[in-house]
Structure 1
Amino acid sequence: MRSPCRALLILLALLTPLQAWAMDMRIEGQSVILSGAVDGSECTALGAILSQAAIRTVVLTNSGGGNARAGYCVGDLIRERGLSTVIRGRCASSCSRMWLGGIERTLEGPNCRVGLHGNYASSGGLLPDAPHRLRSWIPQRAPHVDRVLMEQWTSLPTNNWMMYFYNDKAEVCEGRACTPLAGRNARNAGLATQ
């Protein structure tokens, strides 16, 4: 008797989607809060929310990124809808593409940060076409972006490198080892609008 029950439990576990890996999306007033890893389903899920609720702001929180295509798609969707974006906490990699879609882009508080780098293969190496794509996409969303900094972050050699921008500072990091970018921040780098 144990064997059929165990087999049924295993079958159910295999058939159950792994929603824990997808970004969490919840509505708060006229905002939708997105948090967690970007798995690729976000554009469809956010599109469904936007078709049913009067959303003005997308809040991005505690995301280290993930699926690059989803980042671009959500960023484009946010821009098409004329929404604002806010970061609470950390929003890095593909999450930064989502944030850059906002008409108005802010970082909420001194410890909030946006992390930018290129697009990478599963091995961690920079994809050959990634810098070109980013260098054409980013200025369409952030026309005042510092192009020298953009050249640097889109060419970071591996996915363990990141350029972080805060309200009052910026730094380039390889893993946990970070070097300040003197005098730079999210606003004067042309990323945040407020």
Structure 2
Amino acid sequence: MSMVRSYETLILFGGVEPDDAERFRKHLEKGVVRQVVLSESPGGDLRAGYAIAELIAANKINTAVQGNCFSSCAIIFMAGVKRQMLAGKALSRTRLGFHGPHKKQTHEVAVAAIPHLREWLLAATQGKFPEEILNRAMYIDRAGDMMLFYYPGQSRFGDIRFCTEGSIRCEGVEGYDIVSVGILTTAELLDSDSLAPAASGNKASQ
């Protein structure tokens, strides 16, 4: 992932690579990080995603998202103490995508790894993630199957949608939203202006 520091915010975007956890750790060593913003990531290496998530949780960092954040990116997001979406024009295009783990090279669903991820997500949402939705997202047939979550009212096709790989239509899931299932900890949107306080000794860097 590309990692850019802006004051006490670390912005992550792009695919998750195996060495990203160590690079993230080094950014933490440079100074306090209070907020991690994730943007436009298709996911990637699952172990690195877990490792970055552990660092975020251990350092009690908040997370926010703008744009697409799928698979291991969504795992990283879920480690935040406070989890929000960014306000602005991109809100309607912002979505978090969850699905069962799969092997990178063959795209074969890694059935044995599903229970751990399933329990991890239940713990991250304090048990709020409805099991029927969670199971649908985890026990997939193909690597590209994914459960997508939008901010309430932003998608005319529904707040929660299950998309099957290769299909042009996604199935809407009624009765829940991204806040009620515990993915966002608050419906309050994060103002991007709050990420760069005027009085700070930390300069933006890469």
Same fold? TM cut 0.5: yes
**In 1: Cα distance, 2:118 partner to 2:98 partner:** 12
Partner residue, 2:199: none
> 16, 34, 39: which is aligned to 1:61?
39
- TM-score computed with the length of structure 2 as normaliser: 0.80
- Residue 49 in structure 1 maps to residue 27 in structure 2: yes
The answer on whether the counterparts of 2:125 and 2:181 sit within 8 Å (CA) in structure 1 is: no
* 1:48 to partner: Cα distance: 0.6
- Is 1:118 the counterpart of 2:118? The answer is no
Is 1:129 paired with 2:112? yes
Shift of 1:139: 2.0
Tell me how far 1:160 sits from its aligned partner.
1.1
Percent of aligned positions that are identical = 26
Query: What runs of 5+ residues in structure 2 fail to find an aligned partner?
Result: 153-158, 187-206
Structure 1 segments of 4 or more deviating over 4 A?
none
Q: Distance in 2 between matches of 1:39 and 1:46?
A: 11
Normalised by the size of structure 1, how large is the TM-score? Answer: 0.84
Higher relative CO (Cα under 8 Å, sequence separation at least 6) belongs to 2
Correspondence for 1:89: 67
Q: Aligned partner of 2:179: which letter?
A: R
**2:162 paired residue number:** 172
Whole-angstrom distance in 2 between the partners of 1:40 and 1:113: 24
Structure with a larger share of its residues in helix: 1
Partner of 1:7: none
Matched, 1:153 2:137: yes
- 8 Å contact 1:120–1:159 — kept in the other structure? yes
1:190 maps to 2:191: no
Q: CA deviation at 1:147?
A: 2.1
Quote the offset at 1:62 in angstroms.
Answer: 0.2
Q: What is the deviation of 1:107?
A: 1.9
Computing the radius of gyration from Cα coordinates, the structure with the larger value is: 1
**Residue 32 of structure 1 corresponds to which residue in structure 2?**
10
**C-alpha contact (below 8 Å) 1:38/1:70 kept by paired residues:** yes
Q: What corresponds to 2:124 in structure 1?
A: 141
The structural deviation recorded for 1:40 is 1.2
SS at match of 2:93: coil
- More off after superposition, 184-193 vs 42-51: 184-193
Q: Which amino acid is the alignment partner of residue 166 of structure 1? A: Y
Count the aligned residue pairs: 172
CA-atom RMSD in angstroms: 1.2
Match of 2:189 in 1: none
**How far off its partner does 1:45 sit?**
0.7
